C-alpha cells in the first residue's frame, strides 16, 4: 500500500513488518513519517498478508523482494530519497538488503528495530529455552536446516545480518528493547559493533520485543527524526563513528 504524503515530496520510507504480521503493522509508524515529509510504502512480506509464496525465508529471499520495491520507487521518483524501516524479521531483512545495496547506494539510511544478528544463533537460543536436553536443540536445528535447503535452497547460516553489516557503509540506526526475551539486546549490540559504516544504537529501558514505539513513543520518534536529520545533513563519511 502506497500512502502519499499530503505535501509534495519525493522522499519515501519502505516499512518491513515482522514475522506473523502484515503491512498493517506499519500503521503505527505512519504519523511519524508523514509528519516528517515522507511518503510511506507498506508491503506484505512473502507468505504474509496478500503476498504470494508459501514459505518464509527469514530475510534470505525477502531481501530481493525489497530491491524490487526500490525499483518501483526509483521509476516513479528518479531523484527521490529512500529510507527503509524494518521491524524484527523485517529489520534483519533490511540489514541484509543493505549489503546488496552497497554498490548501488539507492537507500539513504536503514532503521533496524529489534533485528536478530544471525538466525542460526537465535534458533539455538530459543530452542534451549524450551528443551532441557543438551543435544536436542542442535539435532532439531540440523533437521530444520536440511529441510530449508531441500525446499528452498538456502541454509540458516546464510541468514546472518551481522555478516552483512560488516560491509555496509550506509547509515544504520539500531533500536532495541532492553528486556526483549525473543531477540536479546545483546544481538543489537553485536550488530552495532560489527557495522562498518555510520551507526547509532538506542536501547529502550524496560521494553520488550519491538515495543519501543509503544513504550516510549516520544523518545522513539525523537531518536528516529534526529537520525534522519543527520543523515540528510551530512554524508556518511562525516556522520559518526
What's the confidence (pLDDT) of residue 239?
42
How far is CA 18 from each of CA 136, 226, 231, 240, rounded to the nearest angstrom?
27, 24, 25, 28
What's the confidence (pLDDT) of residue 129?
63
What's the confidence (pLDDT) of residue 240?
47
- 157, HSE (Cβ side, Cα atoms, 13 Å): 3
Nearest to 107 by CA among 116, 115, 98: 98
What's the confidence (pLDDT) of residue 141?
58
Burial 161-199 (b: 16+ CB within 10 A, else e): bbbbbeebbbbbbbbbbebbebbbbebbebbbebbebbb
Element (H, E) at 240: none
Place of cell 523485517: 90
Backbone angles phi, psi at 105, to 5 degrees: 55, 50
Centroid of chain to Cα 11: 19
Q: What angle do CA 175, 54, 17 make, to 5 degrees?
A: 20
**CA–CA separation, 58 vs 68, rounded Å?**
17
What's the confidence (pLDDT) of residue 46?
84
**CA–CA separation, 159 vs 151, rounded Å?**
16
What's the confidence (pLDDT) of residue 130?
58
What's the confidence (pLDDT) of residue 150?
42
Q: pTM for the complete prediction? A: 0.88
**CA–CA separation, 81 vs 104, rounded Å?**
13
**CA–CA separation, 103 vs 27, rounded Å?**
31
| Residue ranges of the chain whose pLDDT lies below 50 | 133, 136, 139, 143, 149-150, 236-241
Amino acid at each position: 500500500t502506497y500512502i502519499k504524503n499530503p505535501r509534495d515530496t519525493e522522499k519515501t520510507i519502505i516499512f518491513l513488518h515482522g514475522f506473523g504480521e502484515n503491512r498493517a503493522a506499519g500503521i503505527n509508524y505512519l504519523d511519524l513519517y508523514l509528519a516528517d515529509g515522507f511518503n510511506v510504502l507498506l508491503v506484505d512480506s512473502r507468505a504474509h498478508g496478500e503476498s504470494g509464496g508459501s514459505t518464509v525465508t527469514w530475510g534470505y529471499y525477502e531481501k530481493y523482494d525489497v530491491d524490487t520495491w526500490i525499483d518501483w520507487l526509483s521509476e516513479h521518483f528518479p531523484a527521490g530519497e529512500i529510507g527503509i524501516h524494518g521491524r524484527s524479521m523485517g529489520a534483519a531483512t533490511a540489514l541484509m538488503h543493505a549489503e546488496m545495496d552497497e554498490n548501488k547506494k539507492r537507500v539513504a539510511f536503514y532503521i533496524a528495530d529489534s533485528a536478530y544478528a544471525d538466525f542460526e544463533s537465535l534458533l539455538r537460543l530459543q530452542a534451549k529455552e524450551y528443551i532441557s536436553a543438551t543435544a536436542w536443540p542442535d539435532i532439531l536445528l540440523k533437521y530444520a536446516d536440511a529441510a530449508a535447503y531441500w525446499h528452498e535452497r538456502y541454509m540458516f547460516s546464510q541468514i546472518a545480518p551481522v555478516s552483512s553489516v560488516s560491509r555496509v557503509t550506509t547509515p544504520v540506526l539500531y533500536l532495541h528493547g532492553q528486556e526483549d526475551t525473543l531477540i536479546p539486546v545483546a544481538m543489537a549490540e553485536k550488530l552495532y559493533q560489527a557495522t562498518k559504516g555510520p551507526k547509532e544504537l538506542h536501547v529502550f529501558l524496560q521494553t520488550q520485543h519491538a515495543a519501543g514505539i509503544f513504550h516510549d513513543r516520544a523518545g522513539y520518534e525523537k531518536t528516529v527524526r534526529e537520525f534522519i536529520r543527520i543523515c540528510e545533513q551530512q554524508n556518511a563519511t562525516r556522520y559518526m563513528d
